[in-house]
């Protein structure tokens, strides 16, 4: 699981997140992201009606050799559906050991969200080295510097409120992506 994120984020530490788009629009935006050099595209599936957009982007990604994943994957059922559609990774706003276990079973790299040292410790104990820090803009760059001490082997992907104006602050604080 960790190897996927290590290699996928090695050269371009950016992930495009598509939320609430119709399938056609999602495919167009994903294509633009790929054209700009963004390798990872995530389509959030916070409701069942978002799965058609995910499936359309997965198919578009397959035709271009690009990995597409699902975001807001908060249940084992959703994780299994993502895997069945061919999702290459899954992301969540929080840490749920049952979903982590299911992801390992179906072979889908999983990036769960954390916001406390206890969550980081639990995720690391579950074998995860890459974690989504959410909501990053609320946690702030100092949070990442503080957690680097007790968790030097954990790599964080900042999500939630980041944009071109503030992303550099988070990368400078030691975030992976």
**Residues belonging to the active site:** 42, 132
Locate 95 and state its tokens: 């840490």
User: Whole-angstrom Cα distance, residue 20 to residue 150?
Assistant: 37
**Residues in the chain, overall count:** 177
Local structure of residue 93 (DSSP, 8 states)? S
Instruction: State the pairing for strand pair 89-91/110-111.
Output: parallel
Q: Catalogue the long-range contacts made by 139-144 (C-beta closer than 8 Å, 24 or more residues apart).
A: 139/115, 141/169, 141/170, 141/172, 141/173, 142/173, 144/170, 144/173, 144/174, 144/175
In the sheet with 155-158, reading across from the earlier edge strand, the strands are 113-114, 130-133, 155-158
């Amino acid at each position: 699981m960790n190897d996927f994120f290590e290699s996928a984020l090695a050269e371009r530490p950016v992930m495009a997140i598509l939320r609430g788009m119709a399938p056609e629009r999602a495919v167009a935006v994903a294509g633009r992201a790929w054209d700009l050099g963004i390798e990872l595209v995530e389509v959030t599936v916070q409701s069942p009606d978002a799965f058609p957009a995910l499936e359309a982007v997965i198919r578009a990604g397959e035709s271009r050799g690009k990995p597409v994943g699902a975001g807001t994957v908060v249940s084992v059922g959703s994780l299994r559906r993502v895997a069945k559609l061919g999702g290459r990774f899954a992301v969540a706003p929080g840490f749920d050991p049952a979903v982590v276990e299911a992801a390992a079973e179906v072979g889908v790299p999983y990036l769960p969200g954390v916001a406390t040292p206890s969550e980081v410790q639990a995720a690391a104990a579950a074998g995860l080295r890459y974690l989504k820090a959410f909501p990053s803009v609320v946690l702030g760059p100092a949070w990442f510097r503080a957690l680097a001490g007790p968790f030097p082997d954990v790599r964080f992907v900042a999500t939630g409120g980041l944009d071109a104006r503030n992303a550099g602050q988070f990368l400078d604080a030691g975030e992976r992506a």
